[in-house]
Structure 1
């Protein structure tokens, strides 16, 4: 489930508990007073965020359907909120879900609290260790090469090629399908369920359909692999843990891996390439200087921070954050791009590829920090240099101001990236 879906479901459940009639999933738009932090100017967050952060990095964003919502834009404050194990991200009990597959939304680490979160993460974490992930490295390189070939073929026909369609999306999609162990003949169906679930421009209606379809697909795949475990993550957990985890929870883990591993990496590949192409010296360096790749990738992660807000944290008791009393039951939204650009703790608003960029929260922080962070780094460290070496004369085919970006999306990205290969 995406962040916005988790938030929507929690609000919905509280309203139903109070009034018994309101269903936020039928809301056809998210109010501007709640959605404006999801807007950007190109790759940059709204300038208003930086101004507000300078005044106070913890501010009450709005009251929405009876919930006080706080926006956290400071680096230290975001880490404090995200690292507080006493805050809750668990919304299933608020929805009245008993864990039954048919009556509740799919599970997953993102909105599960300890001790259940601890139990499930122990099942998943071994699959994302550096040692286990190394088995994917040859396959990642194969997928990158295949997609560069397709990019070259498309450019040979039309001159201009959309790098989102030929490279930025297919690379992480292929990797995540391999990771999950999805059979080739089922991947086209899965592909169609990717981006719609992160888009809140149409309110809750569109996201609900995409989430439901993704949930049903992964539950069906989990059930199928119970009888015939595949070579990937789903099959491996079934082989090693069997009945220790039910289909509901295993489907949730797979759904979380899908969420964290596809759209986010696709957005980083496209937006990162956009940034690199506007600096020819940097494009050359990432191709020719292996030692420069890691810090450049880390700075791109900090500067772009494509996941715009972390999973909502619900205050289980009154708490002080940044000098503010946040009442029990309030929602805290950590704005990851704003926090990662906080000049008190990071290089700030400007892109600084020569600076150390370890101070960012692009992958979150604390219990719910992205378990697939190392896999994402592997993809980016392989893909950017491969592109720059294969296509040293690649150029944007349009002015950056002409590009169209995702509107009001939890995971920010560009709709298309037209390039010429030279």
Structure 2
């Protein structure tokens, strides 16, 4: 990567404050209006980061794909001009050892290859019976002797937590601990000190677990990583943090959001019962909900012409997956509803909910399988499912989602 010591001077004043960006109460499933309004004006907009630095807000579909696939944009968080969405966190992030998601090739590729095999489509397909068992048992517990529940705590959270714990080899009884730490790490409201303490605690937990796996290996991801001579306990723990946090937070919030949205569109729920239509329906939910509402940060390491503007080396960019996934020119057309609406018949396969390029989500085959099984089973077993109270959204997290979803059946 080409080193750039400092960010260049910004020639024009930033126009869009990136955070905080409140969601619309009238459209809680969409990205914050400040982003959609910027996208309606131009594909590239000057924006302001929480620490006052300027960057580019990239909202167009083609431009987002370029940012995420062009090696002139770096994902290395240690770059001195990398755009941060938490004010004052630069020193903490730079002094720490980033996981491979925040590194460039070749180191990113080297670390990623170590766990790729566990998330291949073939491997995930073999896991489907186990995922189905976990989903069925979660619904058995949720419905036992009652007709109301909070879908978030009783279904959406435990299902992906059980799956990722089993895959990684993390004891499920520790779920409350790592879920609490995950929430701190993903919260925009966490202080730098809170982030540091949470990061250290989850690293210590996984470092100790790695030592146990080395002594008594099992058939799981952490055991396989722990057995490698080229990885230190810290390396294994760092990868484990990424997989653990991403493996349950993202899917849990997608299950809850998808259910809440489908409850508003009961006329489309029947599509989930058609095995041929189910995969496409899940792709549409992924497109429309795109739970990374704050975008993916990158920094230019060379001058780049993009969207009619020149991005200078050392300038940060934020690739807005949520606005790109609602571009009419890509996902609209005759016969489809507006891209701001749910249409389970839409061909949404080109969506960017999992990112794009070499850094796109490693666990997307697993997430797809979990969503397909969880949603199909939920609405098949509870055909009378309906809201039972006021729902609450999680707006403080980098991963958009739900705090509660009361339901009855």
Same-fold call, TM cutoff 0.5: yes
Kindly state the Cα deviation for residue 43 of structure 1 after the two structures are TM-superposed. Answer: 0.6
Q: What are the within-5 Å matches in structure 2 for residues 8-407 of structure 1?
A: 33-37=17-21, 39-40=23-24, 41-62=27-48, 65=51, 67-92=53-78, 104-153=95-144, 156-157=145-146, 159-239=147-227, 242-286=228-272, 288-347=273-332, 348-398=339-389, 402-407=390-395
Structure that is richer in helix per residue: 1
1:264-322 Cα distance to aligned partner (Å, 9 max, x none):
10010000011111222322331x32222111100000000012244411111222221
Alignment root-mean-square deviation, CA: 2.4
CA distance in 2 between counterparts of 1:139 and 1:73 reads 39
Kindly state the Cα deviation for residue 124 of structure 1 after the two structures are TM-superposed. Answer: 1.6
1:113-147 Cα distance to aligned partner (Å, 9 max, x none):
11111111111211111222234222211110111
CA distance in 1 between counterparts of 2:328 and 2:193 reads 38
> SS of 1:415's equivalent?
strand
Count of residues in Structure 1 that have an aligned counterpart in Structure 2: 377
Q: 1:212–1:344: structure 2 CA closer, same or farther, 3 Å change rule?
A: farther
Kindly state the Cα deviation for residue 418 of structure 1 after the two structures are TM-superposed. Answer: 0.2
> SS of 2:322's equivalent?
helix
CA distance in 2 between counterparts of 1:110 and 1:211 reads 16
* Residue in 2 that maps onto 1:3: none
> SS of 2:45's equivalent?
strand
Kindly state the Cα deviation for residue 252 of structure 1 after the two structures are TM-superposed. Answer: 2.1
Q: Is the Cα–Cα contact under 8 Å of residues 296 and 321 in structure 2 kept in the other structure?
A: no
CA distance in 2 between counterparts of 1:45 and 1:66 reads 22
CA distance in 1 between counterparts of 2:231 and 2:185 reads 26
Give unmatched runs, 5+ long, in structure 1.
Answer: 1-12, 16-31, 96-102
Q: Is the Cα–Cα contact under 8 Å of residues 161 and 418 in structure 1 kept in the other structure?
A: yes
Q: Is the Cα–Cα contact under 8 Å of residues 276 and 283 in structure 1 kept in the other structure?
A: yes
Kindly state the Cα deviation for residue 34 of structure 1 after the two structures are TM-superposed. Answer: 2.8
Q: Is the Cα–Cα contact under 8 Å of residues 234 and 254 in structure 1 kept in the other structure?
A: yes
> SS of 1:414's equivalent?
strand
Q: Is the Cα–Cα contact under 8 Å of residues 203 and 234 in structure 2 kept in the other structure?
A: no
CA distance in 1 between counterparts of 2:381 and 2:73 reads 47
Q: Is the Cα–Cα contact under 8 Å of residues 45 and 338 in structure 1 kept in the other structure?
A: yes
Q: Is the Cα–Cα contact under 8 Å of residues 303 and 349 in structure 1 kept in the other structure?
A: yes
CA distance in 2 between counterparts of 1:331 and 1:38 reads 22
Kindly state the Cα deviation for residue 236 of structure 1 after the two structures are TM-superposed. Answer: 2.2
CA distance in 2 between counterparts of 1:187 and 1:50 reads 36
Q: Is the Cα–Cα contact under 8 Å of residues 39 and 408 in structure 1 kept in the other structure?
A: no
> SS of 2:276's equivalent?
helix
| Aligned: 1:411 with 2:402 | no
> SS of 1:357's equivalent?
coil
Q: 1:249–1:94: structure 2 CA closer, same or farther, 3 Å change rule?
A: farther
Q: Is the Cα–Cα contact under 8 Å of residues 293 and 320 in structure 2 kept in the other structure?
A: yes
CA distance in 1 between counterparts of 2:397 and 2:79 reads 26
> SS of 1:332's equivalent?
strand
Q: Under a length normalisation based on structure 1, what TM-score does the superposition of the two structures give?
A: 0.83
